[in-house]
Structure 1
């Protein structure tokens, strides 16, 4: 028997952070995704212990200010792309306003640290969300293009193919074939 689960990584990380911080007995406040404000200082030993306890979950403490700001940029982009609402402003304006820096500065910093552009990261996130919408929500390409703020289905399809190497239609066929195979496997197991 198989079970499929869906993760909300932001909620999961907040819960882990909250539990691990409570274990340390530190006074803190979770500000945003991946941001903790401490009300008191802590020892180097507490810092090491806390850092180690997070590593078990694949969570790392960001030591550099630049890296921290790049992570904030990524978090804002994920929030923007995966939002249930359509944001009526351009991504560049949204990111700059959300982080209170000029877009030019954020763009240069992002490229310097990640070796890719903010625009490329946005496209990758949009395509990942498009895949999720096709698989889980079973939305058509017109609905997905509208939801992800594409000018047309053709624009979405072009970016999808450039990113994944296949068209959205080919992706949907692969998903359908896998579902049929899984259904067949489940039926076969019942018989055997």
Structure 2
């Protein structure tokens, strides 16, 4: 049985969900961002205790098709943002269509209706959060960060960064800025 789980954004989330599922003595077959597969088939009533446990950790079981698809879009974007620059060989629309096996226009329209923001804006926000992370680590120059994050130039990165945060990457780096959890972006 596949379970779709909202707000899974990192490896620690995966570990927490794994622990929760196994604590309920369910047999986990696979687990990745936003999705778990268990051996058992559970009724709605049988899912309630698991759902409650997950909610206590900030996760949510998703049961309707549209919500699952939106969560899959978010997870695919997060995965893309964290890929190495040389692994990003296709544009966002092609990546989402190929990854999720849906027409991009359908995904984009649904995402905008449900989330109130376009897929592209969400992608930019995720990229900016990745840039913030790299700036806080203070291991790369802004030029290297621009390349790592998939920007064509430092100017392009700076323009998008300022649109989202209201400050330049340099100003943020100087403040050691504050980051949002990825599920709040």
TM-based fold match above 0.5: yes
How far does the alpha carbon of each residue in 1:57-89 deviate from its partner, in whole angstroms, 9 at most, with x for none? 101111211111111111111111112343111
How far does the alpha carbon of each residue in 1:101-142 deviate from its partner, in whole angstroms, 9 at most, with x for none? 111111111111101001001110111111111111431121
- For the 8 Å contact 1:24–1:46, the answer to whether it is kept is no
Specify which structure has the higher proportion of helix: 1
Aligned to 1:19: 19
Cα distance in structure 1, aligned partners of 2:32 and 2:176: 35
> Radius of gyration: which is bigger?
1
Aligned to 2:62: 62
Q: Secondary structure at the match of 2:42?
A: coil
Aligned to 1:94: 95
Cα distance in structure 2, aligned partners of 1:70 and 1:16: 22
Cα distance in structure 2, aligned partners of 1:49 and 1:94: 36
The structural deviation recorded for 1:171 is 1.2
Residues paired across the two proteins, number: 170
Cα distance in structure 1, aligned partners of 2:83 and 2:138: 14
Provide the alpha-carbon RMSD of the alignment: 2.1
Higher relative contact order (CA 8 A, sep 6+): 2
The structural deviation recorded for 1:26 is 2.5
Cα distance in structure 1, aligned partners of 2:91 and 2:98: 11
> CA 1:9–1:31 in structure 2 vs 1: closer, same or farther (change >3 Å)?
closer
Aligned to 1:157: 158
- For the 8 Å contact 2:161–2:169, the answer to whether it is kept is yes
Mapping of residues 1-192 of structure 1, within 5 Å: 9-86=9-86, 87-175=88-176
Cα distance in structure 1, aligned partners of 2:137 and 2:150: 19
Specify which structure has the higher proportion of strand: 2
Unmatched runs of 5 consecutive residues or more in structure 1: 1-7, 179-192
Unmatched runs of 5 consecutive residues or more in structure 2: 1-7, 179-185
